[in-house]
Amino acid sequence: MKKIKPKEKEAILKARVRQGEYRQKLLERCPYCPITLVSDERILIASKPWRKSTDFEKTDPNNGLILTPTYDKLFDNGFISFESDGTMLVSPWISPMNQKRLNIYNGKKVNMSTHKKEEYLFYHREFIFKK
């Protein structure tokens, strides 16, 4: 097992604290998954493309959604996205059979606040969503 250096350990701890604070801010804005309406915080995920975010974007609560694990995975991998008004977009990479099973379809209205999220949603649609 690799031993973590003190500076690395401190950086990891700071990142986890920031992630926890970010998640809490998202939950305060929307305490449920806007697709499933599930509100159990134990299974909700603060969803966003973390690896492609700047330090500011990683902590900006406008840059993210609270989602259940399946929909987090779909969003993170570009299989679903959203218009600025909350209308769902579904990638053609998801078969019609699986779209039906997941209850996702193009044009589905998702009740979520997109206020101040427009720029981030645009980026997601243009650079992450699989068209």
Classify each residue of 17-32 as buried b or exposed e, where b means 16 or more C-beta atoms within 10 Å of its C-beta: eeeeebbeebbebbeb
Nearest CA to 83 among 52, 49, 30, 125?
Answer: 125
How many domains in the chain? 1
Residue 76 falls inside a structural domain: yes
| Residue 52: both structure tokens together | 């492609």
With contact defined as beta carbons under 8 Å apart, do 22 and 64 qualify? yes
Cα–Cα dist 71/45, whole Å: 9
What range defines the domain where residue 57 resides?
A: 6-127
In the 8-state DSSP scheme, what is residue 2? P
Residue 56 falls inside a structural domain: yes
Quick: pLDDT tens for 71-106.
999 999 999 999 999 999 999 999 999 999 999 999
Residue 57 falls inside a structural domain: yes
Residue 1 falls inside a structural domain: no
pTM above 0.75, yes or no: yes
Quick: pLDDT tens for 9-66.
566 566 655 678 888 988 998 899 999 999 999 999 988 766 677 888 878 888 889 9
The helix or strand, by DSSP H or E, that contains position 72, with its residue range, turns out to be helix 69-76
